């Protein structure tokens, strides 16, 4: 579990995972340089708490490849704001008998109907593309994870790049059982804006992997465009250019 300044809520999330420890799972918390009490809160509830450079990819690799830890047959990468179903270990064990890796369906912890649409599309997209996101609690056999070199060392969309690598080994086991994850990142902006802009970029990345451009490069260009969209919208209106002509996501850069 990668953490960074998770605050008081971290204790409850780790307590909820103690049943898995009793079933034989090891709980490894990787702190990315928290300035709050996250490290101290994790200590009583984890098998090991280690530190690494910040960034989910680096933190998850640090936990997976830590030579001080006993070898594992499988790895589960769980975000701090995601809750597993109670029978998660049994489901993972069964899934990995026939697939190298997999993920759960996801539900968002907000009651509004818009979030039902978002989570449904996330799950459908994942089944269609074979691409999983970190919110879906990705799990993988250790030998498969090692063979693809772990998570790529990139700041964004490391889960999508890892999925692309693992797809060369097998399609993911897409479990219908759901993990519950925080809707906070969706609530920080209008749901439709996030889903149709960021989600749209992600869809295009899935479809354009063969073009040879990395997901990180494409995402950075999409992000740069989105950050300055309002300014360029005014410019395009004055100059008669369409937004699609300017959008690097639409153009496939």
Whether the per-residue pLDDT at 203 is higher than 80: the answer is: no
Whether the per-residue pLDDT at 5 is higher than 70: the answer is: yes
Per-residue model confidence (pLDDT) at position 189: 59
Return d(Cα 104, Cα 149) in angstroms, integer: 23
Do 236 and 243 form a contact (C-beta atoms < 8 A)?
Answer: yes
Q: Which tens digits make up the pLDDT trace of 75-103?
A: 999 999 999 998 999 999 999 999 999 99
* Sign of the C-alpha dihedral computed for residues 183, 189, 190 and 192 taken in this order: negative
Per-residue model confidence (pLDDT) at position 237: 45
Return d(Cα 195, Cα 225) in angstroms, integer: 16
Per-residue model confidence (pLDDT) at position 187: 76
Whether the per-residue pLDDT at 11 is higher than 70: the answer is: yes
**In percent, how much of the chain has pLDDT > 70?**
74
Per-residue model confidence (pLDDT) at position 193: 52
Do 82 and 159 form a contact (C-beta atoms < 8 A)?
Answer: no
Mean per-residue pLDDT of the chain: 81
Per-residue model confidence (pLDDT) at position 232: 47
Whether the per-residue pLDDT at 162 is higher than 70: the answer is: yes
**DSSP helix/strand/coil, 180:** strand
Per-residue model confidence (pLDDT) at position 181: 94
Per-residue model confidence (pLDDT) at position 70: 82
Q: Which tens digits make up the pLDDT trace of 185-198?
A: 777 755 545 454 45
For the segment 132-151, the average pLDDT, to the nearest whole number, is 96
Do 53 and 155 form a contact (C-beta atoms < 8 A)?
Answer: no
Domains of the chain and any CATH numbers? 2-187 (3.90.550.60), 189-253 (no CATH)
Return d(Cα 39, Cα 34) in angstroms, integer: 7
Per-residue model confidence (pLDDT) at position 244: 41
């Amino acid at each position: 579990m990668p953490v960074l300044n998770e605050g008081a809520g971290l204790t409850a999330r780790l307590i909820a995972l103690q049943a898995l420890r009793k079933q034989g799972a090891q709980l490894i918390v990787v702190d990315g340089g928290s300035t709050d009490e996250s490290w101290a809160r994790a200590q009583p509830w984890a098998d090991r708490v280690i530190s690494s450079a910040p960034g989910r990819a680096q933190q998850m690799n640090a936990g997976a490849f830590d030579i001080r830890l006993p070898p594992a047959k499988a790895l589960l990468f769980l975000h701090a704001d995601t809750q597993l179903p109670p029978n998660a270990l049994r489901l993972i064990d069964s899934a990995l008998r026939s697939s190298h890796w997999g993920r759960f369906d996801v539900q968002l912890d907000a009651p509004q109907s818009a979030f039902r649409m978002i989570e449904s599309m996330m799950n459908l997209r994942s089944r269609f593309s074979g691409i999983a996101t970190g919110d879906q609690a990705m799990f993988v056999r250790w030998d498969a994870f090692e063979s693809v070199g772990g998570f790529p060392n990139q700041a964004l969309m490391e889960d999508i790049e890892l999925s692309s690598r693992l797809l060369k080994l097998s399609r993911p086991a897409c479990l219908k059982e759901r993990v519950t994850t925080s809707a906070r990142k969706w609530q920080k902006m209008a749901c439709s804006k996030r889903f149709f802009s960021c989600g749209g970029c992600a869809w295009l990345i899935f479809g354009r992997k063969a073009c040879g451009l990395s997901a990180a490069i494409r995402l950075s260009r999409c992000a740069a465009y989105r950050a300055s969209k309002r300014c360029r919208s005014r410019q395009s209106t004055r100059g008669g250019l369409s937004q699609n002509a300017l959008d690097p996501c639409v153009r496939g850069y």
